Amino acid sequence: MAEIVTVEATPDGSADPRLTDYTDLTDVELRRRREPAEGLFIAEGEKVIRRAVAAGYEMRSMLLTAKWTDVMRDVIDGTAAPVYQVAPDLAERVTGYHVHRGALASMRRKPLPPPADLLQKARRAVVFEDMVDHANLGAAFRNAAALGVDAVLLTPRCADPLYRRAVKVSMGAVLQVPWTRLESWPKDAHLLREAGFVTAALCLDENAITLDELAQRRHDRLALLFGTEGEGLTPGALAAADVRVSIPMDAGVDSLNVAATSAVAFYMTRPRA
């Protein structure tokens, strides 16, 4: 059972070293460098913290405002990590923003599995190539969790799915869907072929088949490839794919947001019994 430690603001306004994990959470570049290097990520809000714990992530510490202490009592009782209770203004000063949900936890990252291991038992996989928007990535992970995706592979330049905003937008789904990062892309596309996957690239191409046609083929093992916001998939990724796929559009719209596209594609190609 953790001891709840009340942390007061320091007289000179300096950051309390016990709260270091939570400092400057709005500085994206700083946190993108620091969190993976230190092996941590931040879970925000009651539901996300509970999902992180349920997914087996080890807690480093928790930061709560007083009204959340009772709400999180069972989580507190189940951890040996320090729990710091702070006033709302101190939480805002440390993190750099108003912590609406009043509960944050610093969690330890897990080692990422080899891609081949992740693909071994999967039927539906997805590759996100160079997606840099954390909100889009979080939304796409939530879609993957809800619509039957077994494995998510990220290219080396893809955003960090454990960055606070991505975790928050996904409602913790990034903690539930098995994922890993590829070492070299599109070179590593051979891993999908060797695991028996047909790879389908979602793109704008006049020679592409429709998503309806892809769904009708009912591939036993299918990997969907999605590109970065705006630019889409790179020529190398398109060349590595077995088939190119598009979603027919009306009203002069050429494409959907990548997260919306993923939801449609995941639903249409979900495994059937």
- The pLDDT tens digits along the chain (273 residues) read 678 999 998 876 667 999 999 999 999 999 999 999 999 999 999 999 999 999 999 999 999 999 999 999 999 999 999 999 999 999 999 999 988 777 999 999 999 999 999 999 999 999 999 999 999 999 999 999 999 999 999 999 999 999 999 999 999 999 999 999 999 999 999 999 999 999 999 999 988 999 999 999 999 999 999 999 888 999 999 999 999 999 998 877 877 899 999 999 999 999 876
Neighbouring-strand partners of residue 199: 223
Q: Tokens in use for 196?
A: 């028996």
- Cα–Cα distance for residue pair 249/2, rounded to 1 Å: 54
Q: Is 264 exposed, middle or buried (CB count within 10 Å of its CB: 0-12, 13-18, 19+)?
A: middle
Q: Tokens in use for 120?
A: 């071994």
